Amino acid sequence: MGNLTNKVAIITGGAASIGRDISRELHAQGARVVIAARTAEKGNRLADELGAGALYVQTDITDDAQLENLIARAVNEFGGLDIVVNNACSYDDDGAQTDRQTWLSTINTSAISAAILGEMARPYLAKNKGCIVNIGSVSGAFPHIGRWAYPVAKATLRHLSKTQAVEYAADNIRVNMAVLGHIWSDPFEGLTQDNRAHADAVSSPLNLMGRVANGSEVASVAAFLASDAASYMTGAEVAVDGGYSAMGPEGHEPLMPQLMSLAE
C-alpha cells in the first residue's frame, strides 16, 4: 500500500519530463492519476503505460472550459479529487526583449492557470481535505541574466502559493511548493543536445551536490507533499535544488585559500 492509495490526483503538464515522473510516482504510490497535457500522443502513451488508475485528458490549461472539463473527467472517472499538482509552465523568454504576448502567455500558463484551476478544484479538495502542490523554481527567488518572463512567472506562482495557503486553510486544504533547482528535464536535454555529463559540469559550481537532479527526485518530494505524511505542512517552500539556495555569492569553494594563493 502506497502513501497515496485511493487518492485522486490531477497533474498538469503530466505527460512529459518532470510531470511524467510525478505522474509515475503518484501512481506507484497508489493514487489514481489524471494526466493533463496538450499532446495527445504523449498523454495516451503514459496512460497506457501506467494502466488501471490512469486517465489522460487533453487539456490546454489556459482555457477555462478545458479546466472545467479536466475536473469533471477526474470526478466522474474516479469519484472525487484529492490532489492538484500545478506542474505545467512556459519556458518562453527573450530576456529584456520579451514581447508583450510572450509575457502574457508565460505568466498565464505558469501562474494564472494554477490560480484558476485551484479555485475550480477548491470545493472538491475541501470535501476531501485535499491539497495543492505547486512546482516552483529557484528562478522565482533569484534573478537570472538573460531571462525575465520565466523568473517573474515563477515569482508570481511563489506568491500565489502563499496566498492559496492562507485563503484555503479555512477549507482544510493544504498548499505547498516544491522549489526546483537544476533538473534533468526537456529544457536541459534540448540545450545540451542530451549531454547529461555537460549539464552536470555546468551546474556543479551552482549547487552543493555537484550535478543536476533526476526528475524522479522531484517526484518523490511532490508525492510526500501530497501525502498525509505532510499533514501539518502548508504554505511551505521545500527546496529541491541541491543546495543552490543555501549558497552565498562565494559558492562552495573556500575563499581564504584563494586569497592566500598569491603569496605562494
Per-residue pLDDT reduced to its tens digit, 124-169? 999 999 999 999 999 999 999 999 999 999 999 999 999 999 999 9
Model pLDDT for residues 85-133, shown as the tens digit of each residue: 999 999 999 999 999 999 999 999 999 999 999 999 999 999 999 999 9
Dump strand ranges (E) for the chain.
8-12, 32-37, 54-58, 83-86, 131-137, 174-180, 237-240
Active site residue 124: no
- How far, CA to CA in Å, does 44 sit from each of 13, 36, 239? 13, 10, 31
Looking at residues 59-69, what average pLDDT do you find? Answer: 98
Which of 124, 150, 168, 244 does the annotation list as catalytic?
150
pLDDT at 2 over 80: no
> 22 exposed, middle or buried (CB, 10 Å; 0-12, 13-18, 19+)?
buried
Overall fold of domain 8-263: Rossmann fold (3.40.50)
Where do the domains of the chain lie? 8-263
How far, in Å, CA of 169 to CA of 223, rounded?
20
What pTM value is reported for the model? 0.95
